[in-house]
């Protein structure tokens, strides 16, 4: 492994967050973008070929060294890893709707779920999983929501085009399911003027991943 690859490895190991390509390039001002890219490729290949328990992954905001999926369950059983904050079923459903329908307003989300989602949206926003991405042209110019780079990081996605099918997303969201989210777990009143509908894990009429990416 060359010295630049080792330098990138050291920085990635020390960081608790993904490091952008620009930040990695800043480790050695004399290194060209091609050299940094080659160093990352060498580092990733080294982990793969030598059978390491970690891998180098490109995420929404950059690069990060992560535990290989096949070892995650054992590490969690041993309680050796920090567990992510749990989300309620209501929060998971709302997050799935936003992921596939973004940009989307609160009113449309409430029409789909049939309940008031003000508290859930506030909770997801505070967690950094969604953000305000614009305003609709309709009366009152309501805020529109979309997912954030942290959402991509949580699910090891480089961009929205890699979103799984709706049923696959429901499975991917399960590790975050729980009742430790008081704001989202509280019973919700039906949205004004909306008929109750069956709760969904992800929109059944969700657009394809490519469509979602185009709409973001």
- Predicted confidence pLDDT, tens digits, the chain (216 residues): 889 999 999 999 988 788 899 999 999 989 999 999 999 999 999 999 998 999 999 887 789 898 888 887 887 777 665 555 677 788 888 998 999 899 999 999 999 988 898 889 998 998 889 999 999 888 888 899 999 988 887 777 878 888 877 666 666 565 555 544 444 444 455 454 444 333 333 333 333 333 433 434
Burial 92-121 (b: 16+ CB within 10 A, else e): bbbbbbbbbbbbbbbbbbbebbbbbbebbb
Structure tokens at 159: 């961009």
Question: For the chain, which domains are there?
Answer: 3-77 (1.10.10.10), 89-215 (1.10.10.10)
Contact 145, 166 (CB under 8 A): no
Residue-level pLDDT at 3: 92
- Residue matched to tokens 């690069």: 63
Contact 33, 25 (CB under 8 A): yes
Residue-level pLDDT at 170: 60
- Residue matched to tokens 């508290």: 119
Please give the DSSP secondary-structure letter assigned to residue 206: P
């Amino acid at each position: 492994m060359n010295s630049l690859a080792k330098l990138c490895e050291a920085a990635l190991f020390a960081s608790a967050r993904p490091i952008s390509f620009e930040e990695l390039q800043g480790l050695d001002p004399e290194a060209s973008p091609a050299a940094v890219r080659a160093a990352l490729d060498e580092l990733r290949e080294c982990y793969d070929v030598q059978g390491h328990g970690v891998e180098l992954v490109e995420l929404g905001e950059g690069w990060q060294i992560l535990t290989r999926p096949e070892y995650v369950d054992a590490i969690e059983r041993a309680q050796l890893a920090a567990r992510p904050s749990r989300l309620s079923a209501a929060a998971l459903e709302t997050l799935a709707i936003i992921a596939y329908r973004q940009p989307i307003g609160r009113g449309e989300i409430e029409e789909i779920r049939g309940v008031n989602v003000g508290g859930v949206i506030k909770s997801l926003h505070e967690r950094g999983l969604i953000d305000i991405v614009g305003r609709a042209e309709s009366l009152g110019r309501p805020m529109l929501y979309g997912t954030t780079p942290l959402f991509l990081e949580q699910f090891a996605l480089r961009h929205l085009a890699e979103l799984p099918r709706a049923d696959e997303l429901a499975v991917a969201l399960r590790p975050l399911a729980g009742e430790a989210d008081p704001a989202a777990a509280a019973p919700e009143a039906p949205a004004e003027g909306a008929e109750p509908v069956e709760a969904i894990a992800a929109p059944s009429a969700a657009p394809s991943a490519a469509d979602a990416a185009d709409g973001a």
